[in-house]
Structure 1
């Protein structure tokens, strides 16, 4: 079951990140500016975010199996629309449909894991799902770059449509049906060791009010929007243009740089899956790890901005790896709510993350173009845009730390 879900998530991550590799080709063929590239890459996340609220309710009601199958059908349509596009409008529509179609590929299994797995196993499964996503991003770099001269970018999306169909068959074959009235062993149990406790196992009210009002959810929202969303925005788009336009990489060198960025992320998420159970037993819960580890990402981003052209693929790999502390927020959110509300809690937080991806991807493009229009050089315009991004990350981290002193999320900061 894990492998079936992981294969679908692998494909969703490949589609998500492929824009960074295709950016030079699409920019040349369709005369796209930086803001256009940001909007095109962000269109995926806009479609993704638009489905999150209904998705959560459908997951709680119908379960991961049915919802995954319905959404993957939309991903097939999006892949075909993108492959047939003859202008920017067609490309954007294809990205919107792809984003909507794969929007259940992580939330569906995480909702199932909340019911089917114990808390420690949930943390490990979350990390290893993200590892398979990193594998998809690895596949979107050098393998895609090598395939472009041979088959072209349009047939790549025909092949993706076929692979989405294969993922649907695997899910039909191995994923169990949803028994709404039979919660599993972790449904009513507090989330021991995560730094938060599950809500009372009463039947939750319909809708999202209980989720949005939860103090722990509100505490994590800025981190999800700017840090988590920004990490994905950099990994799936802006690391590539920085390497080419600031560090002077060729298209192949930039694809190689992205390849190693994503390999680094893959190895990091594998390591998180291995060490999380050990850390939790020693009192290092999600809150404590994020509080201690996220300042590293702020220092690395500040160093990249200061280094300018000297900061290449290795620097961006270090930035993305240092941001992975924020990935612990996702299972922590799920464990803060009863299993009957897990789909809505996870989807609401995912909405925050991917709204952040859209805003950061497009916002950096707008800032780069805007600063260029004011007469800034290309390198300086990228540095200025990233400096604004850094300030947003610093503010979100401070909110997380300061709110931890007053919220009622039952944080455990000592072993």
Structure 2
């Protein structure tokens, strides 16, 4: 439905991109802040590896719970209305997190934070599907991810510097205030769905029920071919970037908390530059007729090789190794716009949110799972370095299997 009457002018498109990017920036800052705060929270609340994984993964559990509902609501009501309602939950949850005094309270508020910011990426991507020209979809997606990398960058050294000054509790009060500011600018500057769009969507939805609509998406062979990649490779990338890279640097590489935060800073700075460059070159690659599938197939093995090298290197692997892994995983980001463009615009929100469910449930399982495996291996008397190596080796096997599955099943794709 991205007809000329829906397309925004260059100026309005830039404004809309900025206001939604502000919310996504804050959401990724909150998402990744546990990697920097993990030493402090582990000491204050006496957390084991599995507890830390569950706490960090709670955000993604809440996030994933909302994806199917968000997809339905985004298609029906539009990005503006959906994101504004959810941000209210995010504000309250940040405040509750700031006053939590036990693990259960931290976990529950973390889950509701995930619910509150669960539309911060899918809402703009659904809107861009209608408001931006087709040849700008990949660039808009890449630059939204660049904004997310900027949020993750802000969660590293800046948080580490502020931690002894104001403490982690007041940080979450500040994050709540930032969400309120984002709420205000989205309310003022974001376009809503037009009456004509709402009428068309409601007519379409009346023919396809809530669950049958998602069943239709699931039946698509191309969507299913990307599910394992989304769950393990994309979800695993986020699990490492937002949590496990930090504990590896401290417990395996022997970094201090400040050195770990510095390593995370450069990791996320590298991702920011990578997504910026990715957004610049993607339209030109597509003009050459090189498909997203081909780029994924050729590019993804590099991340698997780097991950294998990191595991093998053990205590000699640090920030540089994890930075290379994350940068080489950038090819997986093409799956998001590929999904969006593979379906008609009236169900694009549901398709994107369904895929997001896969990704973020994958983050939750991988984050928690790595922590559980680390603790289990340690129970058998092995040291922490070997425990981390074993957990990540299992993760590597899953990622390799997902890549092979995509190679086998990639051929079938919906024609737009």
Q: TM-score interval w.r.t. the shorter chain?
A: over 0.9
Counterpart Cα distance in 1 of 2:157 and 2:346:
42
- Aligned residue number for residue 295 of structure 1: 301
How far off is 1:204 after superposition? 6.9
Counterpart Cα distance in 2 of 1:394 and 1:269:
23
Q: 2:316 aligns with which of 305, 310, 315?
A: 310
Counterpart Cα distance in 2 of 1:78 and 1:211:
32
Counterpart Cα distance in 2 of 1:204 and 1:337:
17
Q: Does 1:210 align with 2:238?
A: no
Q: Does 1:88 align with 2:103?
A: yes
**CA deviations over 1:18-47 (Å, ceiling 9, x no partner):** 000000000100101000000000000000
Matched residues, number? 394
Counterpart Cα distance in 2 of 1:171 and 1:275:
29
- Aligned residue number for residue 322 of structure 1: 328
How far off is 1:139 after superposition? 0.3
Q: 1:268 aligns with which of 264, 268, 274?
A: 274
How far off is 1:283 after superposition? 1.5
Alignment of 1:360-399 (within 5 A): 360-399=366-405
Counterpart Cα distance in 2 of 1:133 and 1:349:
18
Counterpart Cα distance in 2 of 1:21 and 1:298:
25
- Aligned residue number for residue 23 of structure 1: 38
Alignment of 1:241-260 (within 5 A): 241-260=247-266
Q: Does 1:79 align with 2:94?
A: yes
Q: Does 1:36 align with 2:51?
A: yes
How far off is 1:205 after superposition? 2.3
Higher helix share: 2
Q: Does 1:403 align with 2:376?
A: no
In structure 2, relative to structure 1, the CA distance for the partners of 1:301 and 1:358 (3 Å cut) is: same
- Aligned residue number for residue 10 of structure 1: 25
Counterpart Cα distance in 2 of 1:182 and 1:102:
25
How far off is 1:182 after superposition? 3.7
Residue ranges of structure 2 left out of the alignment (5+ in a row)? 1-15
- Aligned residue number for residue 287 of structure 2: 281
Q: 2:228 aligns with which of 219, 222, 225?
A: 222
State whether residues 125 and 273 of structure 1, in contact with CA within 8 Å, keep that contact through their aligned partners in structure 2: yes
State whether residues 13 and 136 of structure 1, in contact with CA within 8 Å, keep that contact through their aligned partners in structure 2: yes
In structure 2, relative to structure 1, the CA distance for the partners of 1:325 and 1:180 (3 Å cut) is: farther
Q: Does 1:120 align with 2:120?
A: no
TM-score by length of 1: 0.93
CA RMSD of aligned residues (A): 1.5
How far off is 1:206 after superposition? 3.0
